[in-house]
Amino acid sequence: MKLYELAPTPSARRVSIFLAEKGIEVPRVHVDIRGGENLSPEFKAKSLNGRIPLLELDDGSYLCESVAICRYLEEIHPSETSLFGNSPLERAKVEMWQRIIELQGITAGFQAFRNLTGVYKDRETCVEAWGTESRKRVVEFLPTLENQLAQSPYVAGENFSIADISAFVFISFIKNLEIHTEGNLPHIHAWYQKIAQRPAVLSLTPKN
Amino acid sequence: MKLYELAPTPSARRVSIFLAEKGIEVPRVHVDIRGGENLSPEFKAKSLNGRIPLLELDDGSYLCESVAICRYLEEIHPSETSLFGNSPLERAKVEMWQRIIELQGITAGFQAFRNLTGVYKDRETCVEAWGTESRKRVVEFLPTLENQLAQSPYVAGENFSIADISAFVFISFIKNLEIHTEGNLPHIHAWYQKIAQRPAVLSLTPKN
């Protein structure tokens, strides 16, 4: 098994933190995203979505999408507690928060960044007005997360889960949009500091 | 338990098809989305994302996000085969396809529709150029699904899963964007006809 993910992207970082939390070692392969290596026919033949992270299995097949890779690694390396939740209701709440953070947070954040900076304008049409609107939606979404973290120690409730990893990478990423939590979003800020001090997170070089 | 979802939206339809496939009966509550009932303080106090579908549990707590609701109902009504997959690899592939369809298909389709038609312009800023770009991305995404359905009977592989429900609702929805599969995407078209003939799907009045 090997993982194509050594690239400075938030999706790669989600998998890296997950692996570090679980203590799973998988050989890594570097992919030059900004240089367009993921756009090559060789890479596209492997990755259905043309993106990293991408997991190559021992039978030569491939799995893409960060959360699908994490779910697979969680299942083949079961431990006492799962980062996807430990009861039907807890698993549903993890899924709920994963989707809220992905669809209302990360997607808006990525669209804001890509449309405002034009970082990938060699390969996609950018619409600046949508970047502005997306950034506004990120700002409008944050009180939902703040409210949750005012009531719960972790994003999906009482236990640390993959939803915390997703939210941590999201809050880290939106610094690129000059959106900061210090001062105005105290519960997100305190939770962020707590996650940043976890040994698994400390063990990784910050990439964003 | 009761489900707030009697509304003509693709997300509500995903849960309806899932429930019909599983043969699960849950009392339904109508929510007037176009009239903005979901924007009321009462509804927002229940739904974290301010959207339907929303499941009210017997203890008075709430669960939102269509796929989280389906995952919970699947777990508390286990059957011989799960619509979320039946092995670690199958579950990972279902998750992978769910995410690909959600992030590259449904999200782009919704953004195209909302920004081009202005259906919710009373509550959100619309950027027509992003609607045009999003519609283009939907068209560019379809060959990925076509290629998969040329090789597999169902979206995530050999078995019918929640990824088929998501993809079915997506293909149905993009008719609103004048995107049709007949003729140019033969494998999607044949698969769509097959899913439309499933008893569970036939049992529901078309909502979109």
Closest residue to B91, CB basis, from A69, A75, A144? A75
Q: Are residues B64 and B117 in the same domain?
A: no
Hey, what are B153's tokens? 């009977």
* End-of-domain residue from the set B43, B76, B109: B76
Q: Are residues B101 and B193 in the same domain?
A: yes
Whether A72 sits inside 8 A of B49 (CB atoms) is no
CATH code: domain of residue A171: 1.20.1050.10
Question: What does the pLDDT read at residue A17?
Answer: 94
pTM: 0.93
Question: Do residues B17 and B204 make contact, with C-beta atoms less than 8 angstroms apart?
Answer: yes
Closest residue to A68, CB basis, from B92, B104, B129? B92
Domain membership flag for residue B82: no
Chain B CA closest to residue A49:
B100
User: Residue A72 pLDDT more than 60?
Assistant: yes
Q: Are residues A98 and A182 in the same domain?
A: yes
> Residues of A numbered 121-160 whose beta carbons fall under 8 angstroms of chain B's beta carbons: which are they?
125, 127, 129-130, 133, 136, 144, 148
- End-to-end CA distance of chain B: give it in Å, rounded: 26
Mean pLDDT by 10 residues, chain B (208 residues): 81 92 90 81 82 88 92 91 94 96 96 95 93 97 96 97 97 96 96 96 73
Read off the pLDDT of residues A33-55 as tens digits, 9 standing for 90 and up: 778 888 888 888 888 877 888 99
**What is the residue range of A152's domain?**
88-202
Q: Are residues B50 and B92 in the same domain?
A: no
Give dist(CA B144, CA B161) in Å, integer: 18
Domain membership flag for residue A116: yes
Q: Which residues contact A200 (CB under 8 A, 6 or more apart)?
A: A17, A20, A21
Which ipTM was obtained for this model? 0.92
Domain membership flag for residue A81: no
Read off the pLDDT of residues A106-116 as tens digits, 9 standing for 90 and up: 999 999 999 99
Give dist(CA B168, CA A191) in Å, integer: 39
Whether A107 sits inside 8 A of B104 (CB atoms) is no
- The DSSP secondary-structure symbol of B157 reads B
Decide if A45 touches B, using CB distance below 8 A.
no
Read off the pLDDT of residues A110-147 as tens digits, 9 standing for 90 and up: 999 999 999 988 889 999 999 999 999 999 999 999 99
Report which of A111, A76, A91, A24 is spatially closest to residue B88, judged by C-alpha positions: A76
Q: Are residues A63 and A107 in the same domain?
A: no
Hey, what are A179's tokens? 């959106």
Read off the pLDDT of residues A168-187 as tens digits, 9 standing for 90 and up: 999 999 999 999 999 999 99
Read off the pLDDT of residues B70-99 as tens digits, 9 standing for 90 and up: 999 999 998 888 999 999 999 999 999 999
Q: Are residues A54 and A123 in the same domain?
A: no
Q: Are residues A131 and A32 in the same domain?
A: no
* End-of-domain residue from the set A31, A56, A76: A76
Domains identified in chain B, total number: 2
Give dist(CA A54, CA A46) in Å, integer: 8
Closest residue to A76, CB basis, from B88, B100, B102? B88
Q: Are residues B44 and B138 in the same domain?
A: no
Give dist(CA B67, CA B53) in Å, integer: 10
Q: Are residues B57 and B105 in the same domain?
A: no
Chain B CA closest to residue A76:
B88
CATH code: domain of residue A69: 3.40.30.10
Q: Are residues A126 and A151 in the same domain?
A: yes
Decide if A187 touches B, using CB distance below 8 A.
no
* End-of-domain residue from the set A76, A104, A136: A76
Q: Are residues B102 and B156 in the same domain?
A: yes
Decide if A6 touches B, using CB distance below 8 A.
no
Contacts of A127 in chain B (CB under 8 A): 127, 129-130, 133
